[in-house]
Chains A and B, each alone.
Chain A
Amino acid sequence: MSAASQQDGEVRVFAQYDRDFSEEADVVVVGSGPAGAVVSYELARAGKSVVLVEEGPPFTPRDFRRDGNISMARTMREGGLRATTGTFMPVMQANCLGGASLINSAICVRPPDFVFDEWSSRFDLEESSRADLDPHFDAVGEFLGVAPTPQNVQGRRNLLFKRGCDAMGYSSEPVERNVRGCRGSGECFTGCRARAKQSMDISYIPEAIRLGARVLTSLQVQRVMSIGRRAWGVEGQVVEPLSGRTSHRFKVNARLVVLAAGCTATPVLLLKSGDLANSSRQVGRNLQFHPGCAVAGVFPEPVNPRFGATQSYHSLHFLREGFKMETMWAAPAALAVRLPGLGHELLDRFSQFGRMAVWDAISSTHQSVGSVRARFDSMDPAMSWRLHPEDAKLMARSIHALAQIFFAAGAEKILPGVHGLPDEMSSSEEAERLLQHPVRPTDLVIASSHVFCTTRMHGDADKGVVDEIGKCHDFENLYIADTGIFPRCPSVNPMFTVMALARRQALAIADRI
């Protein structure tokens, strides 16, 4: 292997890898999503030598594709076709510089106190209350310009949600997002061409590079190198963008390793590295999601749904009950998939698009727990998960609440998308069937991009993989910084929380090395 030759503060891309190579650093961070980016930035700011390794390539606006299928094939793992077995559920996970932040809707919401109280009491965590984390939320929020979505880019489909919530007496609020200068194009999921969304690739990562971090893209980490209780680096192979073909080998030797590869990739990496950090046998277990289901509503007057921030109004009214409701927009084709029917009937529904709004609910399905295993032939995970019947009832309840809001906002009909119930419902009385009908897990069309708990933190080393600041119980210098460390699903969109936790972690690491 050639010796380390890279200058501090650089980005490296696939075209530059023409041989095997190695690097040296104080800290190697695996994964450039929200957590990995924050850790890299904070450690670089503290004067540490940081190498940030990312499997995906950087995407410039020229690389964005507005076609939903093609965009997912390019920016997501397994071409956007990753799914759980047990209960089949598509799971969207990014594979690009900046991770999910490039293709999510930038929602930054702090979980309420009760979430952290549950974490503390059930998982022996002493310094993870909301008050403990608020300074980190504040710092991240300030860096990214997190603020409520302005009224002028709400668009009608988002404001109708507010109208419906007001009429029902449900609380609702404009979503706080890491966006500066949103123009309401509704393109968050396929890449923000207005460069308004402060995804990691245009916010934290350039700042980390400016402070000296080296960002190596298109490198797949395949093994954590360790001896006894000490990790001493990572190794893997160069991956060609989009095709996924592997070539040259690389190593990064470091005094400390931070795994921020994501809730499914990190446990696979540990398992493939010789079952590392797994004396508790919890690596890959406790897999949880926020499964979401969407409901479309047709209004008598034009909604012009293409205009408006992607997800900019939400209701936390039923958070304690277990679900959160929000507005949404995506590539029209992705939304059209959930419209029922065939032939002329389907085309008739397409023609109502201009009068349609789509809202969704994500649920805290605490009783539905699965696992992640390593596949023998690749670094992709095998995810097994089953939606519990009680959680299916909770989701039916969330669909019913969305239906009520639609009708209160003036919708003439809704399309609930539940097998065994009518394709369309025309009144809130008819929507009561959502509560009366025994909805089974297989009756729902669900999807998720919020994945948790596969390397959960726990104060007791026998019951969790990492401690409160993300250090593996079994190691002196191996840390995990992604949503896998959440002990339970957080009830709200997780990006802000994982960034706050990552900041706390980075400050603790900076003190230790």
Chain B
Amino acid sequence: MQREVAQLAGCGRRVVGVPVSSRSHCHGAAAVRANSGYAGVVFFLVALIIAGLFLLHRLVRGYPQPRERYVVIGVWDAAFLDAAASTFFPAGGSVPLSGLEADLPGYADRYLASLPSRQRLLIRALFMLFEQSTIVLPARGLGAFRRFSSMTPEQRKVVLRGWAESRFYLRRFAFTALKAVLIMGYFGRPECLQFLEVESFEIETPIARADLLYPPIGQALESIQYAEADLTPPSDGTPVNMAEGIR
């Protein structure tokens, strides 16, 4: 009887003809309702905290210490870049320089330092996108939802192919942007350029009249090291390949 009344009261229905002693049970029902409300809030908060901790863990914990101290990038950028580099440029390929050997984190650190702050943020957001988006765009198999840098090489390849071949233009565009940063870093290594025979030619720069006007960037006019007497004849148009004896 008491349980029924409480249930009825709890449902918000009007209770008719219920003994006074039973009315106290209405208060009890309200208390139960309030308690269940608190429990819901507490449950929600606990879930939120757990989700937050999970996200925090996913975002920052468990990354290996980087090989060196970087100025701009953090440990997660470095781990992502190493993982991406080894996927794009694996060891044992036609070019005898692996992505890991190319030290892309070091390159990215220097490159990002040269960018305006807004663009620096954009590039790091791009790294973050690829590192974390596996939670909604997973690979296959066990650990398919892990961070990109924690995946197996095969899973990383699956993830990157998903971006490269997506029917969504913006995903392909993001992939091209990431690829551009990585390739620029890879080609930033002289041994890569030398192997591919596309390194720059040695060129002696003539001293032109303009060199008497401008100092190097950031320096004062007084730092201009040339005078009229230092001017040299302009380029005579001798092809650089002839100078190096290459046809």
Residues of A within 8 A of B (CB): 11, 13-16, 57-63, 66-70, 73-74, 78-79, 81, 88, 97, 150, 152-153, 155, 180-185, 187, 193-196, 201-202, 205-206, 209, 241-244, 304-307, 331-334, 336-337, 340, 342-344, 346-348, 350-351, 353-354, 419, 442, 445
Contacts and interface: CB of A to CB of B under 8 A. Distances in A.
A333 B187 contact: yes
Contact of B217 (A57, A183, A351): A57
A337 B246 contact: no
A79, A155, A184, A201 interface centre (most CB from chain B within 10 Å): A79
B188 A333 contact: yes
B216 A307 contact: no
Interface string B71-96: 00000000000000001111011110
Contact of A193 (B185, B203, B241): B203
A343 to B, nearest CB: 5
Contacts of A305: 198
B179 A337 contact: yes
A354 B89 contact: no
Contacts of B115: 73, 79, 81
17 contacts: A15-B219, A57-B218, A59-B214, A182-B235, A184-B239, A201-B210, A242-B218, A307-B246, A337-B176, A337-B183, A342-B157, A342-B160, A342-B164, A343-B89, A343-B157, A351-B196, A445-B176
B129 to A, nearest CB: 15
B93 A306 contact: no
Interface of B: 87-90, 92-95, 110-111, 114-116, 118-119, 122-123, 157, 160-161, 164, 169-170, 172-173, 176, 179-181, 183-188, 193, 196-201, 203, 205-206, 208-211, 213-221, 234-243, 246-247
A95 B38 CA distance: 60
B241 A202 contact: no
Nearest to A240: B218
Contacts of B209: 202, 206
A11, A70, A201, A343 interface centre (most CB from chain B within 10 Å): A343
Contact of B198 (A88, A182, A354): A354
Nearest to A377: B118
B198 to A, nearest CB: 4
Contact of B235 (A183, A209, A353): A183
B116 A60 contact: no
A348 B93 contact: yes
B197 A306 contact: yes
A14 B215 CA distance: 10
A385 to B, nearest CB: 15
A153 B221 contact: no
A181 B87 contact: no
Contacts of B220: 13, 15-16
Given A353-B198, A445-B176, A183 B210 contact: no
A16 B221 contact: yes
Contacts of B118: 78
B235 A73 contact: no
A513 B180 CA distance: 50
A201 to B, nearest CB: 6
Contacts, number: 208
Contacts of B219: 13, 15
A336 B241 contact: no
B184 A333 contact: yes
A193 B234 CA distance: 11
B80 to A, nearest CB: 16
B217 A184 contact: no
A215 B41 CA distance: 67
Nearest to A350: B95
Given A15-B221, A196-B235, A343-B157, A304 B95 contact: no
Contacts of A79: 114-116, 119
Q: Which 10 A-B pairs give the minimum distances between C-beta atoms?
A: A181-B235, A333-B187, A347-B93, A58-B214, A442-B169, A351-B94, A69-B184, A202-B210, A15-B220, A79-B115
A27 B113 CA distance: 38
Nearest to B108: A69
Given A60-B214, A354-B198, A70 B235 contact: no
Contacts of B236: 181
A353 B235 CA distance: 29
Contacts of B234: 180-181, 195-196
A57 B118 CA distance: 20
A241 B122 CA distance: 21
Contacts of B164: 340, 342
B94 to A, nearest CB: 4
B183 A333 contact: yes
B111 A69 contact: yes
Nearest to B113: A73
Contacts of A351: 94-95, 196
A418 B211 CA distance: 44
B116 to A, nearest CB: 5
B140 to A, nearest CB: 16
A344 B90 contact: yes
A240 B200 CA distance: 30
Contacts of A354: 196-198
A78 B119 contact: yes
A306 B244 CA distance: 13
Given A13-B215, A153-B239, A194-B235, A244 B116 contact: yes
Contacts of A306: 197-201
B158 to A, nearest CB: 10
A294 to B, nearest CB: 13
A381 B184 CA distance: 26
Nearest to B195: A351
Given A183-B237, A202-B208, A242-B217, 14 more contacts: A13-B214, A13-B221, A79-B119, A180-B235, A180-B237, A194-B203, A195-B235, A209-B213, A304-B246, A337-B179, A340-B164, A347-B94, A348-B93, A353-B196
A500 to B, nearest CB: 23
B218 A241 contact: yes
Contact of B214 (A69, A97, A196): A97
A201 B176 CA distance: 34
B214 A61 contact: no
